Amino acid sequence: MRSKFTLLLCLTLFIAPSISSFGQTIKSTTGPVFDDLGPVYSIDNDDFPLDVSQQFKAIFDVERKQTDPSEQNSIISSLHRYYNMHVRSGVPVENIHLAFVLHGGATKDALSSAAYKEKYKVDNPNKELIETLSEMGVGIYICGQSMSSRGYKKEDLLPQVKVGLSAMTVLTVYQMNNYAMIKF
């Protein structure tokens, strides 16, 4: 019995440091498009060939909200990650065409600083995300139906956000124009 215990202890002491150090060797980094946003991992020897001459067109369906109003919406920040990982992998930034539409619980993320602070008592943590994506030419929309059902008006929104008839309409039109829909 003692020898089994000794063997188990030796294996644990040998394997445990290897397992914990394995997870610590891989770190995400930001850039090259956004230096402070959109951390990604570099992938070596991937098995899915990437045609960097292709046009990458995607619209993100953003419905999920953060439960803590002081936290950024991780789905919006996924667009920063999309830029960073694809440009890092050789896709020219001009070959990336993105848009997103906020609806459901995520409509609050489109609120102006003043409207957000009045409702949630904190600054809108998504303001920088939306501003930096707008600077890249990303199409930023809010579902008019969700906006209205929550009592928001166009003047309550960040200036970069455009109002669509509905999220369904925005998603349909973008998909008819060969944009792939991404929904998490």
- DSSP string covering 98-156: EEEEE-GGGGGGGB-HHHHHHHHSS--TTHHHHHHHHHTT-EEEEEHHHHHHTT--GGG
Can you name the residues that pair with 40 across neighbouring β-strands? 29
pTM over 0.75: yes
Residue type, 157: L
Rounded to an integer, what distance in angstroms lies between the CA atom of residue 163 and that of residue 140? 9
Domains of the chain, CATH where assigned: 56-183 (3.40.1260.10)
* Chain segment 115-165, per-residue pLDDT in tens: 999 999 999 999 999 999 999 999 999 999 999 999 999 999 999 999 999
Q: Give the chain's mean pLDDT.
A: 90
Tokens of 108: 């609050």
- Residue 94 carries which DSSP code? G
